[in-house]
Amino acid sequence: MIDLSARIGDLELTTPIVAASGTYGYGLEYDGLVDWSRLGGISVKGLSAEPSVGHPAPRMVETPGGMLNAIGLQNVGAEVFLRDKLPKLRSIAAHGPRIIINCWGNTTEDFVRIVERLEGIEGIDVLELNLSCPHKHEWGGVLAADAGVTAAVVTAVRARTKQRLWVKLSPNVTDITEIARAAEAAGADALTVMNTVRGMVIDVEKRRPALANGSGGLSGPAIRPVAVYMVWQAVGAVAIPVVGAGGISSGRDAAEFLMAGASACQVGTASLYDPAAPVRIAEELAKVLAGLGESRVQDIIGCARRPV
């Protein structure tokens, strides 16, 4: 038997594999398709205080080794989520997965509003601040590209919630360690590293960008080496846990992130073509561990950082 149990601070997970925000809907869409007891957590579609329609179509385009998206953080808003989505999520969580609410706003005040609305709500295990969407024009740039802005938002939110607080960081930066330290100092309990890489695809026949938004976020296997490096850098810079994300599509991929020092992993794009991907990857990770002669996932976390 392989022990896949994981810990992110004081939060225990049945496995280190979490369904990433933006690719798993509100989790409800996958009910009946996966064994919830084999999933560590669900990070729901990015939630704002008010409903958001996102960007116009086309919003997704396939690329070699991945995809580009500019959904624009479309979501139903806090009130509809709490009324229509969370009750069912609570029943799913009874089978094991932790519920992570990825949330965002266009201003610091917006971030505070959504966090205050979610404070004290039963069934929420973590708030994950999305400061790293690469295609929100309203932000005037990626929030997590600026250490000062990151610190200001996290500080404001930390003062309004007692909930576990993760901060999702961006690869679209010069030095992720500076941003990671700023988030930690402002009160983050953990970091999610990383979000998508800013990019563009041109439709040659139409002679214009393939996405209506112009640019979008690149995800999928193509970005995995970038993500592993970003995790490696962040883990070395902070004392709080790091959750790795970016291009994970197999148990072996997940093992890379864990060996780099991540405490857990998020699976995103793979879920779009394989609804059971997070559970499958957890099962594959167990086989990878067995092949390495290990019986606990905890024993490989950060092992690549240890002296030979």
Catalytic residue among 103, 133, 265, 303: 133
Q: How far apart are CA 61 and CA 180, in angstroms?
A: 30
CA nearest neighbour of 125 among 223, 250, 264, 227 = 264
CA nearest neighbour of 194 among 231, 221, 166 = 231
Q: What is the DSSP string of 125-145?
A: -EEEEE---TT-GGGTS-GGG
Active-site residue 303, yes or no?
A: no
22: region left, alpha or beta (phi > 0 left; psi from -120 to 50 alpha): left
Instruction: Measure Cα distances from 204 to 110, 175, 201, 207, 214 in Å.
Output: 39, 34, 9, 5, 14
- State residue 184 phi and psi, 5-degree precision: -65, -45
Residues labelled as active-site residues: 133
